[in-house]
Amino acid sequence: MYHELLIALSGLPGAIFKADKYGGLEVTKNLPFLHPSEAELLDKLCSLGGHYRSLLKFIETYSVDLSPIDHLLKNDNRNPLEGQYLHAFCAGLTSVLKPYQDSLVQIERRVMKDPYTSLSHIHRGLEEYFFIFPVLSGLVETMDTNKLHGCQVLELLYNESNTGNPTVRKAILKILHACHGVLFKQLSAWMIYGILMDEYDEFFISMKSTEGGKRKRYPSF
């Protein structure tokens, strides 16, 4: 069962843990070898796998640029998210997920060493992610639904970082730090070299056409 649990915590369904209608994971109902209290705890644990899977899917979808032909081949009519801030967000999110991946490796080693490791011990080792993952899932859902772009991503992260949970705040600030790298790069290029590095129209300085057809740089706010 622990092997199945580790697979579920990695975001993959199996014989004991199946995908639910919301895209998460849940314990298969009425398994004779599981006590109801065990099934309840396993349901809570595998919820982390559902969040983890959705976060990985977001990273896989948006962490690299799509070529023009890839945009044309998309079957849906949504405007895909794009931009340097989005890519930085994905990089920051990847760094936040790394300790979780390391925790799964440690749990696997512990279980191999001691097959009688309790579920409560595994739960305790992953406890912080019951707070972090729902918030991160909410962030990516907000970005995807509202097609947040450029500094809107910074605003979302800043607002969500104002939380009383230090563990959640630390995770969000790590992503915000990655996004600030894009902003500082744009600022330094503009202020030091007079270069507008803004392929995706995300910077608060933009090019605007004048009456004579020439383009000048003006603040966009």
Give dist(CA 215, CA 120) in Å, integer.
64
- What's the confidence (pLDDT) of residue 13? 85
Q: CA-CA distances (angstroms) from residue 107 to 13, 96, 101, 104?
A: 18, 18, 10, 5
Give how far the C-alpha of residue 52 lies from the chain's centroid of Cα atoms, to the nearest Å.
Answer: 8
Give dist(CA 28, CA 48) in Å, integer.
16
pLDDT of 18 higher than 90: no
Mean pLDDT of the chain: 84
- What's the confidence (pLDDT) of residue 32? 61
Mean pLDDT, to the nearest integer, of 130-140? 97
- What's the confidence (pLDDT) of residue 59? 95
Give dist(CA 133, CA 105) in Å, integer.
18
Q: pLDDT of 68-85, one tens digit each?
A: 445 444 444 445 678 899
Q: pLDDT band for 35, please (50, 70, 90 cuts).
A: confident
Handedness of CA 179, 185, 188, 191 (dihedral sign): negative
pLDDT of 22 higher than 90: no
- What's the confidence (pLDDT) of residue 218? 47
Q: pLDDT band for 39, please (50, 70, 90 cuts).
A: confident
Give dist(CA 27, CA 41) in Å, integer.
10
Q: Show me where the domains of the chain are located.
A: 1-64+81-193
- What's the confidence (pLDDT) of residue 217? 52
Phi, psi of 167 (to 5 degrees): -70, -45
pLDDT of 165 higher than 50: yes
Q: pLDDT of 99-120, one tens digit each?
A: 999 999 999 999 999 988 999 9
pLDDT of 202 higher than 90: no
Give how far the C-alpha of residue 116 lies from the chain's centroid of Cα atoms, to the nearest Å.
Answer: 33
pLDDT of 30 higher than 70: no
pLDDT of 86 higher than 90: yes
- What's the confidence (pLDDT) of residue 201? 83
Q: Pick 172 or 194 by higher pLDDT.
A: 172
* Secondary structure E strands in 21-146: 25-27
- What's the confidence (pLDDT) of residue 134? 97
